[in-house]
């Protein structure tokens, strides 16, 4: 009597085969910044803010900032200083400081810096920085105008045509006359006058 065949274990891939046990996933390791997110840092206090308690170093930076502001105000010309709308006392102190000698000037600058603690020093600093940027831009533009003048004097009709293309309002005939009058030798009166007038014409066209 033959015995029934023993059940053979199912081969891999056949139905009923035991699937391999999935390996446990390793939890993602968080970085310290993810584990302990930092709060957004506030912007540093303005150097001219007098209501903030400061370290010794930060206090020195504030004193230096007021000192630089006082020095820059003293360096302004009269009309620009007037346009800032300062109160009478600091404005008069600034105007008087200009004519003082070294020792007295240093003391007066310190006094002006103290006065500036009672005005909107941040607005003044921003206004002076705007003026400085404008001055630098104007210096660059004047340099470019002078370069045009030299090119017109040396480059002939080709440069003159280029200039008229850049400045359509330019009077080609008038410019040609000024270029011819300026000539190469500018030691003579008429040549010097034409040389200067040529730059004034370039300024006028550039300003327009």
Give the integer Cα–Cα distance in Å for 124 and 136: 18
pLDDT at position 52, please? 87
Of 186, 203, 204, the closest CA to residue 195 belongs to 186
What would the CATH number be for the domain defined by 137-207? 1.10.60.30
Q: Coil, strand or helix: which one is 68?
A: helix
**Mean pLDDT for the chain?**
85
Q: What is the mean pLDDT of residues 32-38?
A: 56
Label residue 151 by pLDDT band (50, 70, 90): very high
**Sign of the torsion formed by the C-alpha atoms of 97, 101, 103 and 104:** negative
- Convert the pLDDT of each residue in 14-24 to its tens digit: 555 555 566 66
Label residue 44 by pLDDT band (50, 70, 90): confident
Distances in whole angstroms, Cα of residue 100 to Cα of each of 13, 108, 199:
101, 8, 38
Q: What residue segments make up the domains of the chain, in order of their start?
A: 56-119, 137-207
pLDDT at position 158, please? 94
**Sign of the torsion formed by the C-alpha atoms of 101, 59, 48 and 120:** negative
Label residue 166 by pLDDT band (50, 70, 90): very high
Give the integer Cα–Cα distance in Å for 87 and 96: 14
Q: What is the mean pLDDT of residues 107-131?
A: 95
114 or 6, higher pLDDT: 114
Distances in whole angstroms, Cα of residue 135 to Cα of each of 77, 94, 139, 146, 207:
13, 21, 6, 17, 15
Give the integer Cα–Cα distance in Å for 142 and 145: 5
Q: What is the mean pLDDT of residues 167-183?
A: 93
Residue 145 has pLDDT above 90, yes or no: yes
The residue count of the chain comes to 208
- Convert the pLDDT of each residue in 62-115 to its tens digit: 999 999 999 999 999 999 999 899 999 999 999 999 999 999 999 999 999 999
Q: What is the mean pLDDT of residues 168-174?
A: 94
Contact of 116 with 70, CB cutoff 8 Å:
yes
């Amino acid at each position: 009597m033959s015995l029934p065949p023993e059940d053979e274990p199912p081969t891999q891939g056949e139905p009923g085969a035991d699937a391999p046990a999935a390996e446990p996933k390793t939890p993602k390791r968080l970085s310290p910044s993810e584990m302990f997110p930092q709060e957004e840092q506030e912007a540093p206090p303005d150097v001219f803010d007098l209501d903030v308690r400061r370290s010794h170093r930060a206090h020195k930076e504030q004193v230096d900032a007021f000192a630089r502001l006082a020095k820059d105000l003293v360096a302004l010309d009269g009309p620009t200083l007037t346009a800032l709308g300062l109160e009478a006392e600091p404005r008069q102190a600034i105007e008087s400081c200009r004519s003082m000698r070294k020792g007295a000037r240093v003391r007066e600058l310190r006094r002006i810096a103290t006065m500036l603690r009672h005005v909107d020093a941040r607005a003044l600093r921003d206004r002076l920085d705007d003026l400085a940027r404008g001055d630098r831009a104007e210096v660059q533009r004047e340099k470019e105008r002078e370069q045009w003048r030299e090119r017109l004097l040396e480059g002939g009709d080709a440069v003159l045509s280029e200039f008229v293309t850049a400045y359509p309002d330019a009077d080609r005939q008038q410019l040609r006359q000024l270029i011819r009058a300026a000539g190469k030798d500018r030691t003579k009166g008429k040549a010097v006058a034409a040389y200067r007038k040529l730059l004034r014409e370039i300024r006028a066209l550039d300003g327009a």
